[in-house]
């Protein structure tokens, strides 16, 4: 005898069919401006800023009267933010969205909304194509999709009469509609992913990927500035180059930083206050920043004299709120300040960087001299040339010639972790020189684009025309991307189609920020 507590497939199906029949008979109630169906995405978030109070309330009201405020349209169909739409569900499931509101991160906020909006546009377009092709989901299939999705399952993973019956008719209709539309859309996407790659095409990718090269290079920059001059400046301004291990608590508003400061003064633990109030990337690690030169901390302060608060602290103590260009910060000194050691290479490099960045002295003549000497010396003794330029040799592992930026090949952009050689190789002539020269070849000095007084000299250290590892990786990536590329292309074409009318930015600012007035 069947367990009466576990509905049979027939029972489940009949219940879901009942939803279908009710959906056909359902009549929409008249909607007035006072009785709008409100979809709450994020609860009211109040954020205080200098110069006034602002708050953001994301409550989207949908009604016939608001059709003119659609976010866009595709082929005449409005793109609206409606309950259980792809637009709505993408936003609700975006873990970055609420954090963006809390932190006033408008770039992330805009990105989250636009991603959700584009997802709805693509869904609308592909669903239209599916319907035009006659792809429909029979109710029996829809019922099966709902059951397999576990929409009405209990904690044991079985279909629950209680959960099903406790849901409202509107909720059941919404779920039914979602899966009715989901299936045709999914069929179109699956068809796009069914592309078959020809054997000769894969063989060509393998052939290109098999050819790799390794390189060494060094950078000539402000480090060419004479050591003795850097030491002299450092000793005259030693406090700038002392090191302090610090933690920081940052807030975008004066009110929030004051609240944090009051909590600290009331005896609340630093870690707890950081967790509650801090809005920077260090908040997840109790505000710990690590050891920094004093001058690099000063650059974050609106008034350089504020650094005196930090340098006067006892270990474990914290400053009063200090204003910065992006808000306010409280600094905590985690260990005793370490005096600068100008015999240390890292400290000396920091001094040279500071001299160059702040135009204390003109480093250009020293860089030019170092470039000339290094370029000549490197042809015979690469290591000596790097040493003479106060430079460290950087090694780049096996890389493909990927000047065109193919996603299937591991080029210098991926393997050059420092990035200077990769930046130079974006020039096709430089790339050709690096990937056609014989092993042991040394380049001349090459200026790095968008980096003043910065040059590199590179050496070809290895050539492999049968790199099986690179071939394997490229083939694996190609087989994956070859099936995904038609999908990406179709999505791109939808978004850029003449059928797509984009009203996103107007509606975004009108909706998200309208309640701040």
Q: What is the pLDDT along the chain (517 residues), one digit of tens a residue?
A: 433 333 333 444 444 444 443 444 444 344 333 333 222 222 222 222 222 222 233 333 333 334 446 899 999 999 998 877 889 888 888 888 777 777 667 788 888 999 999 999 999 999 999 999 999 889 998 898 888 889 899 999 899 989 999 999 888 888 888 889 888 998 998 888 887 777 888 888 888 899 999 999 999 999 999 999 999 999 999 999 999 999 999 999 999 999 999 999 999 999 999 999 998 889 989 999 999 999 999 999 999 999 999 999 999 999 999 999 889 999 999 999 999 999 999 999 999 999 999 999 999 999 999 999 999 999 999 999 999 988 999 999 999 998 888 877 889 999 999 999 999 999 999 999 999 999 999 999 999 988 889 999 999 999 999 999 888 888 887 777 778 888 888 999 999 999 999 999 988 887 766 544 4
Q: What is the pLDDT at residue 260? A: 95
Q: What is the pLDDT at residue 404? A: 84
Count CB atoms within 10 A of the CB of residue 503.
Answer: 17
User: Is the CA virtual torsion 508, 108, 329, 287 positive or negative?
Assistant: positive
Domain 243-338, what fold? Answer: Chitinase A; domain 3 (3.10.50)
Contact 231, 342 (CB under 8 A): yes
Q: Is 359 exposed, middle or buried (0-12, 13-18, 19+ CB in 10 A)?
A: exposed
Q: Is 24 exposed, middle or buried (0-12, 13-18, 19+ CB in 10 A)?
A: exposed
Counted residue by residue, the chain has a size of 517
Q: What is the pLDDT at residue 69? A: 66
Q: Take residue 315 and report the two structure tokens written for it.
A: 């270990």
d(CA 103, CA 250): 11
Q: In the 8-state DSSP scheme, what is residue 34?
A: T
Element housing 391 (H / E): none
Count CB atoms within 10 A of the CB of residue 418.
Answer: 13
d(CA 143, CA 19): 10
Phi-psi category of 288—alpha, beta or left, where left has phi over 0 and alpha has psi -120 to 50?
Answer: beta
d(CA 43, CA 161): 32
- What is the reported pTM? 0.58
Specify the domain boundaries for CATH 3.10.50.40 within the chain: 243-338
Residues paired with residue 342 on neighbouring β-strands, in sequence order: none
Strand order in the sheet with 77-79: 77-79, 72-74, 500-502
Tell how strand 288-293 and strand 322-324 pair up. unpaired
Q: What is the CA radius of gyration of the chain?
A: 31
Element housing 106 (H / E): helix 106-132
> Minimal CA–CA distance to 219: which of 499, 453, 63?
453
User: Is the CA virtual torsion 446, 450, 453, 456 positive or negative?
Assistant: negative
Does the domain made of 211-222+363-465 have the CATH classification 1.10.3470? no
d(CA 451, CA 438): 28
Residues paired with residue 62 on neighbouring β-strands, in sequence order: 37
Sequence-separated (6 or more) residues with CB below 8 Å from residue 95 = none
User: How many Cα atoms within 13 Å fall on the side-chain side of residue 362?
Assistant: 4
Q: In the 8-state DSSP scheme, what is residue 158?
A: S
Q: Is 324 exposed, middle or buried (0-12, 13-18, 19+ CB in 10 A)?
A: middle
Place of tokens 């993408």: 90
d(CA 287, CA 332): 9
């Amino acid at each position: 005898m069947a367990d009466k507590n576990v509905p049979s497939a027939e029972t489940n199906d009949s219940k879901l069919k009942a939803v279908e029949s009710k959906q056909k008979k359902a009549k929409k109630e008249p909607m007035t401006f006072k009785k709008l169906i409100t979809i709450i995405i994020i609860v009211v978030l109040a954020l205080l800023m200098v110069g006034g109070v602002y708050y953001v309330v994301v409550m989207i009201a949908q009604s016939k009267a608001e059709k003119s405020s659609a976010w866009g349209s595709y082929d005449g169909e409005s793109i609206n933010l409606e309950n259980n739409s792809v637009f709505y569900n993408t936003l609700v499931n975006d873990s970055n969205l609420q954090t963006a509101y809390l932190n006033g991160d408008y770039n992330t906020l805009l990105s989250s909304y636009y991603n959700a909006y584009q997802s709805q546009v693509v869904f609308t377009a592909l669903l239209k194509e599916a319907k035009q092709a006659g792809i429909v989901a029979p109710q029996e299939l829809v019922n099966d999709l709902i059951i397999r999705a576990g929409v009405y399952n209990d904690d044991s993973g079985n279909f629950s009469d209680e959960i099903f019956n406790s849901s409202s008719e509107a909720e059941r209709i919404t779920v039914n509609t979602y899966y009715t539309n989901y299936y045709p859309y999914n069929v179109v996407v699956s068809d796009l992913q069914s592309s078959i790659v020809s054997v000769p095409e894969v063989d060509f990718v393998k052939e290109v990927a098999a050819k790799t090269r390794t390189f060494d290079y060094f950078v000539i920059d402000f480090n060419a500035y004479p050591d003795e001059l850097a030491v002299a400046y450092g000793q005259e301004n030693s406090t700038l180059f002392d090191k302090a291990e610090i933690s920081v608590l940052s807030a975008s508003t004066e009110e929030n930083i004051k609240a944090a400061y009051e909590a600290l003064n009331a005896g609340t633990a630093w870690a707890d206050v950081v967790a509650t109030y801090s809005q920077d990337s260090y908040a997840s690690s109790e505000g710990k920043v690590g050891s920094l030169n004093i001058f690099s901390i000063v650059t974050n302060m609106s008034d350089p004299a504020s650094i005196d608060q930090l340098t006067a602290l006892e270990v474990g103590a914290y400053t009063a709120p200090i204003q910065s260009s992006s808000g306010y910060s409280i600094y905590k000194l985690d260990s005793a300040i370490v005096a600068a050691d100008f015999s240390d290479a890292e400290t000396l490099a920091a001094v040279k960087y500071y001299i160059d960045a702040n135009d204390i002295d003109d480093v250009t003549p020293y860089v030019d001299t170092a470039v000339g000497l290094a370029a000549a010396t490197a042809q015979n003794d690469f290591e000596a040339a790097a040493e003479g330029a106060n430079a460290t040799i950087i090694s780049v592992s096996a890389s493909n010639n990927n000047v065109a930026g193919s996603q299937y090949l591991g080029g210098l952009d991926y393997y050059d972790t420092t990035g200077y050689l990769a930046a130079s190789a974006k020039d096709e002539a430089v790339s050709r020189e690096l990937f056609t020269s014989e092993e042991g070849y040394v380049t001349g000095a090459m200026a790095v684009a968008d980096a003043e007084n910065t040059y590199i000299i590179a050496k070809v250290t290895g050539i492999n025309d049968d790199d099986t590892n690179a071939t394997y990786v490229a083939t694996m990536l190609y087989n994956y991307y070859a099936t995904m590329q038609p999908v990406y292309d179709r999505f791109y074409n939808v978004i850029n189609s003449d059928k797509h009318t984009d009203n996103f930015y107007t509606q975004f600012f009108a909706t998200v920020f309208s309640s701040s007035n």
